Copies of this chain bind each other. A is one copy, B any other.
Amino acid sequence: VVCKQLRARGPGSALRPLRSPEGHSGTQSSHRLLAYSDALISIIATVMILPVAHTKVQDDEELRESVQALLATKIAVYLMTFLIVTVAWAAHIRLFQVVVRIDDCLALLNLACMMLITFLPYTFSLMATFPDNILGILLFCGCVMVIGVIQSLMVLYAFSRPFLLNEQIQISENQTFYKHHILKVIMRVPLMCFLASIASLIVFQLSYALLAIVIFLPYISQFLKWCRSKAMGKCQVEESPDSMLYYTYLPNEPLSKDRVEAFSDGVYAIVATLLILDICEDNIPDPAVVETQFGGRLIPALLVYGPEYLAYFGSFATVGLLWFVHHSLFLHVTKATRLMGLLNTFSLAFVGGLPLAYQLTHEFPRNSQNELEAIQISCVIIFFAGIFQLAIWVVALYSEQETLHPYVRYGGREHVFMLAKLALYPCVALGTFFLTCILSKFSASIFHLMEITVPFAFLVLRLLVRVGLALLRLIFCPDRPDPRTVVEEEEDETRVPFNTLVTELS
């Protein structure tokens, strides 16, 4: 049943022929509009790391101090942008789980919405630079209010043309009830923003608190409710009526898996390519300098930038492999939930910090205290990016019957391999961190060694897992049958063809 509901909500349903489509040739599948919106939002969420990474850290002062100075404004802007833009993205997903087909008018309204979302980072920059001035918060509230009004317009427009709506709402008898429920949820945010902007005219510290509440209250309250109901038994969850199908804010509310993937792809892609931009802008030597200092020979002039190239290839490999792990994980996820989406957001926020790590690791002279700390910061960023990916899997395992493919469930034949894939980066980052603490002199070489050997570790990972499992079995229970037989038995249990399953469930 869950699977059926999920499919009815997913973008796949947009392609299914509706009952009387001949009269409405202007309607279109929303698939590409959503892909474009995901690309825009993911870039906007990530791109604010550039001002952070471009802040030149002075060499004479200690790194820790300058990082603290950065933390005060630019990192705060980056994290705020990432968080708020992701919340806006979640609202966008909710809206387009109800409106599954579009026409020209909805497409144009959506573009207007996107324009305002891309303007949000500017309001955060204003807030961070002038924390005592209310203009930033007023601008932010204004943007959010206009976005809310546009989204309400889209809902009203879609309900006035029911063939644009989700099939379940189309056939539902209480369409008006749905409309009012959705409008109420959407308009709550602009209304609170209006209150916040009035409050900011009186006591502007109050408005920050009000804004934080308005954005996170539904999540927190629903999460608490959900925890309580879990603690008190299942009965209360079952009680929730059909009306709560959309806009529930429950942590197990389904999230379009396609859109989570598209958003993540955008973040990984922009992070990987921001690096080459820095290389192209900063690491082309000045022809005059080459002439005077290196006697016109280009190769020695380029060798000065050696650490930059190494850092570039290392960082690209890290981003690429984190994407690879994410890709492997979501290949086996059959249904994404809100909670998994939240953990994914945290993971991506750390991935977005990698350009900063890249900038720091090659900025300082070799074997200085600063370099050591820069490498440790990089390890911490990579560690958290990896550990949140692992957390997604743990949450998925918690309700594995609904969310995971049989192969990777507990006892499935790919279970241990997937665990190894997900655990590789956190373990390596942690190991590197402690190694750099002990062997402080070789820290840079250790770090680059780590970045370059990890791809090969992935190539031989399947072999390593086999060997490790065999060893474990040999040590702890040497009397049990040969592991090869066990593996084959497991295969028999889950002998459903992989392809058909993926086609059915995704």
| A91-99, A142-150, A260-268 - the one binding chain B | A260-268
* A35 neighbours in B (Cβ, 8 Å): 261-262, 265
User: How many copies of this protein are present in the complex?
Assistant: 2
* Cα–Cα, bound, A299→B459 (Å): 57
Number of interface residues of A (CB under 8 A): 91
Asked whether A269 lies within 8 Å of B108 as measured between CB atoms, the reply is no
Quick check: B277 and A47 within 8 Å, CB to CB? Answer: yes
Q: Which of B108, B273, B321, B407 contacts A455 (CB 8 A)?
A: B108
Query: B residues within 8 A CB of A365?
Result: none
Judge whether B499 and A17 touch: CB under 8 Å.
yes
Q: How far is the CA of A17 from the CA of B497 in the complex (A)?
A: 8
Q: Mark A343-378, 1 if CB is under 8 A from B, else 0.
A: 000000000000000000000000000000000000
| Pair A327/B36 contact, Cβ less than 8 Å | yes
Residues of B within 8 A of A130 (CB): 287, 290, 298
When each residue 113-133 of chain A gets 1 if its CB lies under 8 Å from chain B and 0 otherwise, what string results?
011001101100110011001
Whether a CB of chain B sits under 8 angstroms from the CB of A272 is: yes
User: Are B273's CB and A40's CB within 8 A?
Assistant: yes
How many angstroms between the C-alpha atoms of A34 and B261 in the bound complex?
A: 12
The verdict on A15 contacting B129 (CB below 8 Å), with A35-B265, A104-B328 known, is no
Binding site for B on A (CB under 8 A): 15-18, 21-22, 24-25, 27-29, 32-33, 35-36, 39-40, 43-44, 47-48, 50-51, 54, 104-105, 107-108, 111-112, 114-115, 118-119, 121-122, 125-126, 129-130, 133, 135, 261-262, 265-266, 268-270, 272-273, 275-277, 279-281, 283-285, 287, 290, 298-299, 302, 312-313, 316-317, 320-321, 323-324, 327-328, 330-331, 407, 413-414, 455, 458-459, 462, 495, 497-500, 502-503
CB pairs A–B below 8 angstroms (13 shown): A21-B499, A22-B495, A28-B331, A39-B266, A43-B269, A51-B280, A111-B323, A115-B320, A118-B316, A121-B280, A122-B276, A125-B284, A126-B284
Apart from A17-B500, A29-B331, A118-B316: 14 A-B pairs, beta carbons within 8 A:
A15-B502, A16-B503, A22-B497, A32-B331, A35-B265, A36-B265, A104-B462, A115-B313, A115-B317, A118-B273, A121-B276, A121-B280, A125-B284, A126-B298
